[in-house]
Chain A
Amino acid sequence: DAKTTQPPSMDCAEGRAANLPCNHSTISGNEYVYWYRQIHSQGPQYIIHGLKNNETNEMASLIITEDRKSSTLILPHATLRDTAVYYCIVRSSRSNDYKLSFGAGTTVTVRA
């Protein structure tokens, strides 16, 4: 599975949109981009995933560039409860193996 690169940390203002970048320049055509977050001392929480098209759900939006080498997770209105470590993970869609390889992620701090 392709590796991902994320900034180690980000600060966001409460009520503003938070844009979290992820670089996955070696991604192949059959690999999905997944986003999870982990609030302190809890298990990771699924946020969203996508293959080529932009995706939106009740939690966030995922914007994938046309060449698929990078993506951005958008939290439209950040709240203090969105403070967490956010992980961008790439996984092959062909594989029935749902093992996920976690990197260091981005520690997002939402400030009042």
Chain B
Amino acid sequence: GAVVSQHPSRVICKSGTSVKIECRSLDFQATTMFWYRQFPKQSLMLMATSNEGSKATYEQGVEKDKFLINHASLTLSTLTVTSAHPEDSSFYICSAIPTPPQVPYFGPGTRLTVT
């Protein structure tokens, strides 16, 4: 089946630094990818929609200047958490839609810990 990868799988950074997370569609092209965030013992919450060649659209309450999204190619979207703080520690997951079967597939997630 379709594969979506993320890199890194886990990262630890210091407060105030920036971290970049990559999401790749390995065997299909994706004009749209989605970024979710999941805090411990909670469900996934959509953060933003990443559009190849255009600006990302953010869900209400998500700071676009803090979570920078770049979808520079049809197989790669990146999420950069700028000036990270401990409250940004979370599990970040991306998804993409291969055609067929036009079903969202998810990456394995990136565990971010900000110390």
Contacts and interface: CB of A to CB of B under 8 A. Distances in A.
Given A99-B46, A100-B46, A102-B44, A43 B107 contact: yes
Given A44-B93, A98-B95, A100-B95, 12 more contacts: A43-B4, A43-B6, A43-B95, A43-B106, A43-B109, A44-B44, A44-B95, A46-B1, A46-B103, A99-B49, A100-B44, A104-B43
B103 A45 contact: no
28 contacts: A34-B103, A38-B44, A41-B91, A41-B111, A42-B108, A43-B4, A43-B6, A43-B93, A43-B95, A43-B106, A43-B108, A43-B109, A44-B95, A44-B106, A45-B106, A46-B103, A46-B106, A49-B103, A87-B43, A99-B46, A100-B95, A100-B104, A101-B46, A102-B36, A102-B43, A102-B44, A104-B43, A105-B43
Contacts of A98: 32, 34, 95, 97, 102, 104
A102 B93 CA distance: 13
Interface residues of A, number: 20
Interface of B: 1, 4, 6, 32, 34, 36, 43-46, 49, 91, 93, 95, 97, 102-109, 111
Contacts of B36: 102
A103 B43 contact: yes
A49 B45 CA distance: 21
| Majority SS at the chain A contact face | loop
Contacts of A34: 103
Nearest to B108: A43
Contacts, number: 51
A42 B34 contact: no
A46 B105 contact: yes
Nearest to B42: A104
